[in-house]
Amino acid sequence: MTTIAHTLITQKVEDFVAILTINHPPANALTPDLLRELESTMDDLAENERVKALVLTGAGRFFIAGADIRVLAGIASSQEGQKMALDGQAIFNKIERSTKPVIAAINGACFGGGLELAMCCHIRLAANEARLGQPEINLGIIPGFGGTQRLPRLIGSSKATELVLTGESISAEEARTLGLVSQVMPSGDLMRQAIGLARRIASKGQLAVQAALQAIRQGTEIGLREGLTLEANLFGALCESADKTEGLAAFLEKRQPHFQDL
C-alpha cells in the first residue's frame, strides 16, 4: 500500500485501486488550487501501471459543497468567468475521458461544482444522508463546469431543468430513483462498497474495460447507428486479444481468468 499526502488531496493505492480523498476543510470547496492538484493527480495516475480503477471521495461531512464563494465574488468580467468555466470543464472532461474507471463515493453534501465533478465520474455511489443539487441559480449564476449539460443527459431534461432553475437539492434516494447515482447505502458502508466495486472492475481485463468506457462515453455523443458501428469495431479489435482467448478458456475450464491486459 502506498499513501501520498498532497496539499489538498490524499492519495492511497492498494490492490490496483487508487483512493483519492478531497481534504479541504471545512466544506471541500473547489478552489483553483484544488482543481490544479486534482488535474495533476489524475495525470499521474493515468500513467501509473499499478492503478486500474479510482475511487474519489471527500473528507468529513462533505463530498464537495461547491466552488469557493470568495473566488466567485472576485470575478469581475465575462472573460474571467468564461476562463474559469472553461478551465474547470477541461479538467472534468479529462476525468470523464479517463481510460481507468472513476467511482465517486458521495459521502455527504454534493452541491454545485461538487455535483459537476461527481457527474463526470463513471459511476456514482452515495451515502444515504447525502444531498445533491445545483444551487448556482441562488447566486445569480448558472452551473459552469458542465452541470447544464451532464445533468439532463443523466436524468432527463424536465427534472434537470427543475433542479437547475430552483436550486433545490434532492436526497440520495431520489438521486438513485432518477438514475443520478447507482447505489445508496449507510455512510459506514460507502467506502467499503466503493472500493470493493473498484477492485472487482480492476480484476477484469483492462483492454475490455477501456473499450467499454470508450463505447459508452462516445456513444452518448453520437447517433445510434454510429454508436453501433463503434461498438462493433471495438468488439472486433478485442477478438484478437490474448485476454479474450484467456477469458473464454477460463470460462470453459470453470476457473478464474488471469488477464494480462494484452
Which residues are designated catalytic?
116, 136
> Could you tell me the sign of the dihedral formed by the alpha carbons of 56, 151, 61, 105, in that order?
negative
3-state secondary structure string across 172-217 = HHHHHHHCCCCEEECHHHHHHHHHHHHHHHHCCCHHHHHHHHHHHH
Q: How far apart are the first and last CA of the chain?
A: 25
Closest residue by Cα to residue 93 from 145, 57, 166, 21: 145
Cell numbers describing residue 60: 468529513
Strand, helix or coil for residue 55: strand
